[in-house]
Protein backbone atom coordinates (compact mmCIF):
# COMPACT_ATOMS: atom_id res chain seq x y z
CA UNK A 1 0.00 0.00 0.00
CA UNK A 2 1.74 3.10 1.32
CA UNK A 3 5.26 1.87 0.50
CA UNK A 4 4.40 1.26 -3.15
CA UNK A 5 2.76 4.70 -3.44
CA UNK A 6 5.78 6.35 -1.79
CA UNK A 7 8.17 4.53 -4.13
CA UNK A 8 6.10 5.50 -7.16
CA UNK A 9 6.07 9.19 -6.23
CA UNK A 10 9.78 9.27 -5.40
CA UNK A 11 10.58 7.73 -8.80
CA UNK A 12 8.24 10.16 -10.56
CA UNK A 13 9.73 13.12 -8.68
CA UNK A 14 13.26 11.98 -9.52
CA UNK A 15 12.45 11.64 -13.23
CA UNK A 16 10.79 15.07 -13.35
CA UNK A 17 13.69 16.63 -11.42
CA UNK A 18 16.39 15.19 -13.68
CA UNK A 19 14.45 16.12 -16.82
CA UNK A 20 13.94 19.69 -15.54
CA UNK A 21 17.61 19.98 -14.59
CA UNK A 22 18.69 18.81 -18.05
CA UNK A 23 16.34 21.27 -19.74
CA UNK A 24 17.57 24.20 -17.63
CA UNK A 25 21.19 23.29 -18.41
CA UNK A 26 20.30 23.30 -22.11
CA UNK A 27 18.51 26.66 -21.82
CA UNK A 28 21.58 28.24 -20.22
CA UNK A 29 23.74 27.40 -23.28
CA UNK A 30 21.35 26.74 -26.20
CA UNK A 31 23.88 26.84 -29.07
CA UNK A 32 26.07 24.10 -27.60
CA UNK A 33 23.22 21.84 -26.61
CA UNK A 34 20.68 22.21 -29.41
CA UNK A 35 21.48 18.73 -30.74
CA UNK A 36 21.28 17.24 -27.24
CA UNK A 37 17.87 18.84 -26.78
CA UNK A 38 16.53 17.23 -29.96
CA UNK A 39 17.98 13.91 -28.80
CA UNK A 40 16.18 14.23 -25.45
CA UNK A 41 12.91 15.20 -27.18
CA UNK A 42 13.08 12.04 -29.33
CA UNK A 43 13.79 9.84 -26.28
CA UNK A 44 10.91 11.15 -24.14
pLDDT in tens, 1-44: 899 999 999 999 999 998 888 777 766 665 655 666 666 677 65
State the pLDDT at residue 4.
92
Please name which of 6, 36, 5, 3 lies closest in space to residue 19, comparing C-alpha atoms: 36
State the pLDDT at residue 10.
93
User: pTM, whole model, 2 decimals?
Assistant: 0.46
CB-facing half-sphere around the CA of 22: CA atoms within 13 A:
14
Phi and psi of 17, rounded to 5°?
Answer: -65, -45
Amino acid sequence: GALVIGLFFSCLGYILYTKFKTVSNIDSSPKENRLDYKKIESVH
